Amino acid sequence: MPGQICWLSLTGGDGEKVLHLRTHPSQPWKPYTACPGLAVSDYNIPGGSKGWATYQKLLRAGWTLVPSAQATQQLVPAQ
C-alpha cells in the first residue's frame, strides 16, 4: 500500500529539508534513510536534494506528497 512523503528539516527548523516518509498516516515521519527497504541511493550531484531519487521512485509507485506545512502542523502537539 502506498504511503506518504514530505520534505522536512532534520533539525525541526528552517534548515535543509530531506525526504521523510511514512507508510500510514498514523505513523510518525521518518527520514528516508531510516527505511532501507524503500530508499534508493542518492544522485551524486553536489548540493542535490537528499532523497530526490527515493522521492521519484515512491511518487511513481503511487505515494502521496504531503505539503511540508501540513506535515509540520502534525508534528506540533495540540494545546
* Domain coverage including residue 46: 4-75
Q: How many domains does the chain have?
A: 1
In this prediction, residue 62 carries a pLDDT of 97
Give the Cα-Cα-Cα angle 6, 75, 40 (nearest 5 degrees): 30
Ordered per-residue pLDDT tens for the chain, 79 residues: 689 999 999 887 778 899 999 999 999 999 999 999 999 999 999 988 999 999 999 999 999 999 998 888 776 554 4
Phi and psi torsions of 11, nearest 5°: -90, -5
Cβ-contact 32, 51 below 8 angstroms: yes
